[in-house]
DNA sequence: TTTGACAACTTAACAGTGTTAAGTATATTT
DNA sequence: AAATATACTTAACACTGTTAAGTTGTCAAA
């Protein structure tokens, strides 16, 4: 069935072309400019053709959001070589801040916009795999810190929520312009890192009961 | 000039009617359903009339965002009677979480959506007064904690950023559905409070050097 | 009193959005 | 050769924010 295979490949090619076009619009003009009509223009098909390959726009944005997680994984790839879990935790936070501030559009898609989560809800297996995996790594590192008595023991889930919350909070306040009028532009990034370091320090202090 | 006064009053009345209609749409149907045409329908004027009273939609949303800050102030009104600044800090955090989760639409407008900040940029005095005031209270409390040696001394600005970041992060991840697939629905709010309590505990521990 | 100006408001339109129903070719199967 | 299935398009619906131009009605000066 060589002909059926070729047809299947062509279908997958067009699907990929749609995602590539979406990606191009996304990185060059931001998520607000990813519209079905603009995608259609780029791939030189009619807008309705897009709907033969994706249920709706949310589904396209969900795919871009996944690419964002891949990109983020590149940022944090080397932290897992760090033996000391507390140092690793610190570096994870630093890379998280770095990724968010250097890729605000991707960050938006991954952690702020509703669209990808709305797409998720329509799926059969509606787990948020990307988020679950990222949170998992955080939890593991926190657990390791506790096992090695580097930090005081406690509810890993709650602590992970709080730490993730802190870095996410700072990034999202920054990229949604809530720091603009409150902090000088040059001091923003160093100050965010200082905030993170502060947390890691009090955390460290809480563990040293020896 | 009684007649000029009456005219001025009528203008202000219509301005208020537009805001009231916006508010009604906002609380009943969410910010996505606040459109110029729907506002116009409610006040029974043509859509273009709205533009005689507000520069654009952002300016209307900015006004609603201010109302949100008033509402938030009601939540936190009684914390300032608390003498112990560390206890006060804890309660401020608790009320912040409570407000955000009970008023997700307002929270969105105040801390997530770009629209009010875009309006701000067009103003003459483009300070974010509401945000500045709220952050100020947080900073004061942190400073007081340091002055009384309840927490280790450090950069107040950075620490305020981190603490605000944490509560904002948790609220915004929650209302933008990032916890949905990761944490059981019933455990979400208690877990967020647990995360906050955890931070306050390690903070407390960091201060007890006596 | 008539004219002119100004204020308040509306109509109509522009340029865009996501999405769907219905139609048209082309290619495959019966 | 006829029927069917595939891939795609046209045209439309129902919205969105926003603006240019036109229409009233009121008021002050000629």
B174 in Cβ contact with A169 (< 8 Å): no
Say whether pLDDT at B2 is over 80: no
DSSP 3-state percent helix, strand, coil across chain B (nearest 5): 80, 0, 20
| pLDDT > 90 in chain A, percent | 88
Of B76, B209, B50, nearest in space to B141 by CA: B76
pLDDT of residue B163: 98
The reported pTM is 0.94
> Measured from the CB, is A35 under 7 Å from any atom of strand D?
no
Nearest CA in chain B to A159: B195
Task: Count how many residues are written for chain A.
Answer: 210
In this complex, the nucleotide whose C1' atom is nearest to the CA atom of residue B57 is D17
Work out the angle between the directed axes of helices A185-207 and A85-102 (0-180°, nearest 10): 160
Size of the A and B interface in Cβ pairs below 8 Å: 163
Give me the residue from A155, A169, A191 closest to B169, CB to CB: A169
A130 in Cβ contact with A66 (< 8 Å): yes
In this complex, the nucleotide whose C1' atom is nearest to the CA atom of residue B60 is D17
Q: Is the Cβ pair A178, B205 closer than 8 Å?
A: no
Give dist(CA A68, CA B91) in Å, integer.
36
Task: Name the strand (E) or helix (H) holding A124.
Answer: none
Say whether pLDDT at A2 is over 70: no
Residue that has been written with the tokens 């905030």 in this structure: A195
A17 in Cβ contact with A43 (< 8 Å): yes
Mean pLDDT of chain A: 94
pLDDT of residue A1: 47
Of B143, B137, B132, B118, nearest in space to B56 by CA: B118
How many degrees, rounded to 5, is the angle at CA A39 between CA A37 and CA A43? 115
A207 in Cβ contact with A150 (< 8 Å): yes
Work out the average pLDDT over B103-124.
96
Q: Closest Cα of chain B to A5: distance in Å?
A: 37
Which pLDDT band, with edges at 50, 70 and 90, does B207 fall under? confident
Q: Which long-range contacts (CB under 8 A, 24 or more apart) does B203-206 make?
A: B203/A202, B203/B86, B203/B89, B203/B145, B203/B151, B204/B86, B204/B150, B204/B151, B205/A152, B205/A202, B205/A205, B205/A206, B206/A201, B206/A202, B206/A205, B206/A206, B206/B151, B206/B152
In this complex, the nucleotide whose C1' atom is nearest to the CA atom of residue A46 is D9
Q: Which residues contact A92 (CB under 8 A, 6 or more apart)?
A: A76, A79, A137, A138, A141
> Measured from the CB, is A52 under 7 Å from any atom of strand D?
yes
Work out the average pLDDT over B51-68.
97
The better pLDDT of the pair A192, A207 is held by: A192
Give dist(CA A29, CA A37) in Å, integer.
14
| Lowest-confidence segment of A182-186, B7-11, B77-81 by average pLDDT | B7-11
Q: Is the Cβ pair A161, B183 closer than 8 Å?
A: yes
Q: What is the pLDDT of residues A15-46, one digit of tens each?
A: 999 999 999 999 999 999 999 999 999 999 99
D strand bases under 7 Å from protein CB:
6-12, 15-21, 27
Domains by residue range for chain A, with CATH: 1-54 (1.10.10.60), 56-207 (1.10.357.10)
């Amino acid at each position: 069935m060589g002909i059926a295979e070729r047809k299947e490949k062509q279908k997958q090619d067009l699907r990929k072309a749609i995602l590539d076009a979406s990606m191009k619009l996304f990185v060059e003009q931001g998520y607000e400019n990813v519209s079905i009509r603009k995608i259609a223009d780029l791939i030189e098909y009619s807008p309705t053709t897009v709907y033969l390959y994706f249920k709706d726009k949310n589904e396209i944005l969900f795919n871009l959001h996944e690419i964002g997680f891949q990109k983020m994984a590149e940022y944090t790839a080397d932290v897992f070589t760090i033996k000391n879990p507390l140092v690793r935790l610190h570096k994870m936070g630093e890379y998280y801040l770095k990724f968010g501030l250097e890729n605000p559009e991707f960050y938006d898609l991954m952690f702020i916009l509703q669209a990808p989560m709305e797409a998720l809800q329509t799926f059969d297996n509606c787990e948020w795999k990307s988020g679950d995996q990222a949170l998992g790594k955080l939890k593991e590192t926190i657990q390791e810190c506790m096992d090695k008595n580097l930090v005081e023991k406690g509810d890993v889930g709650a602590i992970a929520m709080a730490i993730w919350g802190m870095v996410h909070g700072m990034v999202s306040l920054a990229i949604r312009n809530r720091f603009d009028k409150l902090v000088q532009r040059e001091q923003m990034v160093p100050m965010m890192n200082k905030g993170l370091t502060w947390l890691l320090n009090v955390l460290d202090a809480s563990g040293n009961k020896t």
